[in-house]
């Protein structure tokens, strides 16, 4: 490579570096996740959740591409983080109680109060509402000391209920998948396995009659295993 070509190449790299550096202020804001990363200043350690999120009051110039408009655009939801418009920008806010979302955050913790499951992430509790076919943002259901983080056994299942990531499955990323990619893959495989088996571990009793729980749960686990192995994971 002659000197003129080398100079042109390094000039292009320098320009790209400058462009990336000056564009950070307008970059897509972060989702909830394991962090820490720029903007992830809030560590949610309740119930052993142990994930970082943007602090409330954090201002961003653009919303994530997968955001969901809630309340006619009064709020936006993405990855367990809630945003509200503030002029031309958006600010991270507390969750609006009583609003519904179609999906749970990729990272969440199942917490049981009085035998009822709640789904927890980023200081927020969600509860499945069958009539709406969505998850409702609810007030804290009780004192933390009354919570059971490990779900109780489902009658007839022969073991504990499982979450979308397959709580009774050991999953190892063989191809070095990032935490965000793992969460996305597990959630998408959960949706597919739910469709194949009719079993949904995110709702009480799996959403099936008690006498079908064991077989439906086994079908769900088989489908989860097949889906995850097809995406480059080792599942035991």
Q: Output the six-digit token pair for 89.
A: 């920008």
Ordered per-residue pLDDT tens for the chain, 236 residues? 554 444 444 443 333 333 333 233 333 444 555 555 566 678 888 888 888 888 889 999 999 888 899 988 899 998 899 999 999 999 999 999 999 998 888 778 888 888 788 889 999 999 988 788 788 999 998 887 777 775 443 333 333 333 444 445 677 788 888 766 776 787 788 888 888 999 877 666 677 888 888 888 888 888 888 998 999 988 87
CA distance 194 to 236: 19
Q: Taking each helix axis from N to C terminus, what angle separates 213-230 and 179-197, rounded to the nearest 10 degrees?
A: 140
Tens digits of residue pLDDT in 72-125: 889 999 889 999 999 999 999 999 999 999 888 877 888 888 878 888 999 999
For residue 127, list its beta bridge partners. Answer: 136
Instruction: Identify which of 85, 79, 78, 81 has the alpha carbon closest to the alpha carbon of residue 55.
Output: 81
Q: What are phi and psi of 71, to 5 degrees?
A: 65, 40
Angle at 198 between CA 197 and CA 202, to 5 degrees: 110
pTM over the 0.75 mark:
no
Distance CA 68, CA 82 (A): 10
Which residue has tokens 């997968």? 66
């Amino acid at each position: 490579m002659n000197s003129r070509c080398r100079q042109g190449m390094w000039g292009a790299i320098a320009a790209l570096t400058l462009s990336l550096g000056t564009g950070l202020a307008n970059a897509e804001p972060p989702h909830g996740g394991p962090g820490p990363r720029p903007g992830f200043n809030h560590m949610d350690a309740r119930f052993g959740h142990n994930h970082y999120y943007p602090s409330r009051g954090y201002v961003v110039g653009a919303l994530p591409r997968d955001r969901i408009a809630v309340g006619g655009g009064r709020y936006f939801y993405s990855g367990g983080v809630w945003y509200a418009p503030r002029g031309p920008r958006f600010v991270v806010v507390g969750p609006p109680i009583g609003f519904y979302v179609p999906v749970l955050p990729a990272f969440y913790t199942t917490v049981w109060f009085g035998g009822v499951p709640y789904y927890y992430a980023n200081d927020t509790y969600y509860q499945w509402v069958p009539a709406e076919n969505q998850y409702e943002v609810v007030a804290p259901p009780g004192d933390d000391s009354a919570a059971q983080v490990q779900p109780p056994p489902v009658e007839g299942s022969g073991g504990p209920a499982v979450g979308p990531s397959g709580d009774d499955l050991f999953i190892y990323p063989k191809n070095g998948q990032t935490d965000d990619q793992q969460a996305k893959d597990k959630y998408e495989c959960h949706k597919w396995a739910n469709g194949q088996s009719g079993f949904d571990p995110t709702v009480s009793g799996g959403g099936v009659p008690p006498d079908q729980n064991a077989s439906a749960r086994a079908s769900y686990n088989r489908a989860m295993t097949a889906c995850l192995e097809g995406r480059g994971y080792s599942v035991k």
